[in-house]
Structure 1
Amino acid sequence: MPISMKTVATATLLGVLVLGAVGAGRHHLARAEAREASAAAWLELAQIHAARAQAASAALASVGAADGLDPAIAARARDALTRASKMPAHEQLLGDVRAIERYKQYQGELTGALFVLVAGAQQVPALAASNTVQGLRSELLRDESALAAARERYRRAAASYNAMSDAFPGATVLAALAYPDLPAGL
């Protein structure tokens, strides 16, 4: 029994559609995994920053108005902590590049102010021996490598997600459906 051209064309089209659906499903799963990896790295950054804020609060409470420490140093650290604390890290920020830039700016200002606070406190004998000041100093030093590693994990996951999103045939539709590219770096 001869096979008609219509049957061959229908079978070919059906095969292409099935293979396309399987490929799109795998692509979607890979994108979802990359998005989850970026969210996990973002959460790790948020946890590091939250622990840093707790250590900073404790150190600022113990520093108070200590004699020998320039009050402007403590005031700058308090202001930076207040600004950074007003912008908590939540996953929704990942969709707003300007918010991410502001978050990075506030965290950077806080880091700088805290290093100045620790350096100033170490010049005051009563504060140099303070457990909270030493705890903040240790936290700052430990956090820098942990933050760098988390930022790198985020960068790789975001790059993977963005590449997959751009490669998807409906990339414009994805962006319109609230699946925008992730910011490249934190």
Structure 2
Amino acid sequence: MPRWESRAEDRLREAALELFLEHGYDNVTVTEITERAGLTRRSFSRYFTDKRDVLFAGSEQLPVVLARSVRNADDTLSSFGALLTALVEVAGGLAGQAPLAAQRRAVVRASPELQERGRTKFAAVTDAVADALRDRGTAASEATLLAEVGVAIFRTAFERWTDQPDPIGLPARIREAVAELAAGLGAADFATRPRP
């Protein structure tokens, strides 16, 4: 086999997704993935550490990119405004990935192991965003709260976008989730104290 195979990483990812969807994540081996892709195990190891990595490769960039966008947001924006601007900006870079993301989500939903890995990845996003907000001067507890809310907005919008791909796009789904949250909070009566 040649040292460099055309589109090897994409072929491995496509083969893995096909097999995961056909047989379930737990029932697929790396050898089966490489055979389906027409590549070697060595090629697989060049791009992925294990079969989970096929689904999550590249996700380590989300905390970095989102935190950078928060830090670079206009200084005149509030902390939450900077976060929302960053979410929409980063979401714009994911255009066209809805079908692939929907397939990955279907595989992850069917596996408790993968669900846990997904939660760990989003915890890293939350930590990175909270750090970026603190760098902007946001108090530590507020930064953590806003980061958790921002990640919840992103996840909600992402799930809607992958479940029902349409021309509206992920940035619009984020705005939609924010509007729903704002409407829900607007309906709450924070002046009335809860009874003990």
TM-score for both structures, normalised by structure 2: 0.23
TM-score for both structures, normalised by structure 1: 0.24
Larger relative helix fraction:
1
Greater RCO, 1 or 2 (C-alpha within 8 Å, sep 6+): 1
